[in-house]
Amino acid sequence: MAQGGRGVPAAYPGGMARSPLILAAVATAAVPGLDVTHAVRLGTGSGGEVDAAVLTSRDGRHLVIRVPRSEPAEAEQSADLVALRALSDGVRSRLPFAVPRLVGQTPVGGTRAIVHEFVDGASLALDTIPPALAGSIGQAIAAIHALPTSVVADVGLPQLRAVDVMREALATLDRASETGLVPAGLLRRWELASEDQSLWQFTPTVINGGLSAGSFLAVGDTVTGVIGWSRLQVADPARDLFWLLGSSDAAVPDSAFDAYHQARGIHDRQLGRRAVFAAELEVARWLLHGTTTRSTEIVDDAVEMLHALLDRVHRDMTNPLTTETDRPATLTEAHDLAELGAPVEARPTPAVPGGSPASPWSAGSAGSAERPAGSAASPTGPGGAAGPRSGDSVATPPTPPTPRD
């Protein structure tokens, strides 16, 4: 394996991942006085973009060390550090869950190793989230969105207005249209949504910006931690919520959105529709990623997803993205029609001290391009077709199936 000076593995090694023992040695350089007694690999053994391990120190502390193996992973780590520094003690006191706290860092062969506190809790998979836990997730997201925007502004992170969010969506739409690979029916559907002024009448909030099931750690039905903050910004709150609509259990998004609205005390009637729009544009972004990287496999996958989405839209023309004041719908009703895709980062769950699985800042996901994912859906709910229910005007039209690896 290539070396990066004085026997230290070089940055972005192409061979074997650094062992837990090597990572433990690096951690002692990052944290003065640290005496590591046990080290367990975090994540896959090789092929990931981050080398990581859970460490136990002689004084009983549990820590995590991470060393990026690629430039994208290093860039994401740097962004994460900026965000974590923005989350001061005062800010963290407003959150009902733990956020990783930086303990130390040190240069490693041209890159940087960071050590942070271990956050207890089991990592999550979308289809294993029960409604009760979904409620806790909704409350956790609401707490993030209730943070003062100065948290983001004071460290120079992005601050998007509602019109900026709309323009960003239009830019994605235009770029996707230029590929000539998006069905005309979908382009028209998205154009109508972008032209619906009521859709963009919302107040931007602080958002995590990259949430998925793997972002949360939980004990029982309670969220104990949120990890991965590299996309912290002020933007559309729907961005942090749309991934929940990919659950195979319609009660999960219902519970999460209900808990979110109750915790926020601010009712955004178009939140669900913007979440749908965001989820569908993820497929367009996946297509653009494929064209940018010149990956025929990704492009073919995205095109197939787009046509599947179009088929589902045609089967249910009563649920457009634009507002229909004469036909209210709920998340549950809409979810029964189909499921939403959402970016889901793989977060391995190795055994850690105390026996509880956890996945703080997992190895293998940093810097990787996100792609829509979700489980296959039936067009009807349990026991047959779902009937309309009164409530929020947040209809959820059919959306793409899971892409194949």
Q: What pLDDT score was predicted for residue 7? A: 40
Euclidean distance between CA atoms 32 and 359, whole angstroms: 25
pLDDT at 287: 97
- Asked whether the beta carbons of 323 and 198 are under 8 A apart, the reply is yes
Site of tokens 């055994």: 351
Contact between 246 and 342 (Cβ < 8 Å): yes
Q: Which pLDDT belongs to residue 288?
A: 97
More confident: 344 or 58: 58
334: pLDDT strictly greater than 50:
no
pLDDT at position 102 is 95
Q: In this predicted model, what pLDDT tens digit does every residue of 5-19 receive, in sequence order?
A: 334 444 455 557 789
C-alpha dist (Å) from residue 367 to 75, 83, 87:
7, 16, 22
* Region of residue 43 (left: phi > 0; alpha: psi -120 to 50; beta: else): left
Hey, which residues does 102 pair with through a beta bridge?
116
The predicted structure's pLDDT at residue 268: 87
* Mean pLDDT, range 61-65, rounded to an integer: 97
**How much is the pLDDT for 326?**
32
For residue 371, the model assigns a pLDDT of 64
For residue 85, give every residue at least 6 positions away whose Cβ sits within 8 Å of its Cβ, in sequence order, or none. Answer: 102, 155
pLDDT at residue number 311: 87
pLDDT for the residue numbered 271: 94
Paired with 65 in beta bridges are 53, 115
Q: What is the mean pLDDT of the chain?
A: 80
Q: How far apart are the first and last CA of the chain?
A: 29
Pairing of strands 36-41, 102-108: unpaired
Do 20-117 and 122-373 have matching folds?
A: no
Q: What is the pLDDT of residue 346?
A: 31
pLDDT (tens digit, 9 = 90+) per residue, 111-152?
999 999 999 999 999 999 999 999 999 999 999 999 999 999
SS3 assignment, position 400: coil
- Measure the CA–CA gap between 109 and 13, rounded to whole angstroms: 10
Distance from C-alpha of 102 to C-alpha of 146, rounded to nearest angstrom: 23
Residue 404 has pLDDT above 90, yes or no: no
pLDDT of residue 388: 29
Query: What CA–CA distance (Å, rounded) separates 345 from 175?
Result: 25
Q: Which residue has the higher pLDDT, 312 or 88?
A: 88
pLDDT at 381 over 80: no
Backbone φ and ψ of 375, nearest 5°: -90, 155
Of the chain, the percentage scoring pLDDT greater than 70 comes to: 74
How buried is residue 159: exposed, middle or buried, by Cβ count under 10 Å (0-12/13-18/19+)? middle
Question: CATH number of 20-117: 3.30.1490.20, 3.20.20.150, 3.40.50.720, 3.30.200.20?
Answer: 3.30.200.20
pLDDT for position 46: 55
pLDDT band for position 369 (50/70/90)? low
Given pLDDT bands bounded at 50, 70 and 90, which one contains residue 400?
A: very low
Residue 318 has a pLDDT of: 56
Domain map of the chain by residue range? Answer: 20-117, 122-373
CB 378 within 8 A of CB 335: no
Side chain identity at 332, as an amino acid letter?
Answer: T
| Model confidence at 154: pLDDT above 80 | yes
Q: 343-366: per-residue pLDDT in tens? A: 333 333 233 333 332 333 333 333
Question: Could you tell me which residue, 305 or 359, shows the higher pLDDT?
Answer: 305
pLDDT for the residue numbered 370: 60
Residues 208 and 280: their CA atoms lie apart, in Å, by 19
Q: What is the pLDDT of residues 227-279, one digit of tens each?
A: 999 999 999 999 999 999 889 999 999 999 999 999 999 888 899 999 989 98
279-289 pLDDT per residue, tens:
899 999 999 99
Sign of the C-alpha dihedral computed for residues 9, 14, 18 and 19 taken in this order: negative
Classify domain 122-373 at the CATH superfamily level: Aminoglycoside phosphotransferase (APH), C-terminal lobe (3.90.1200.10)
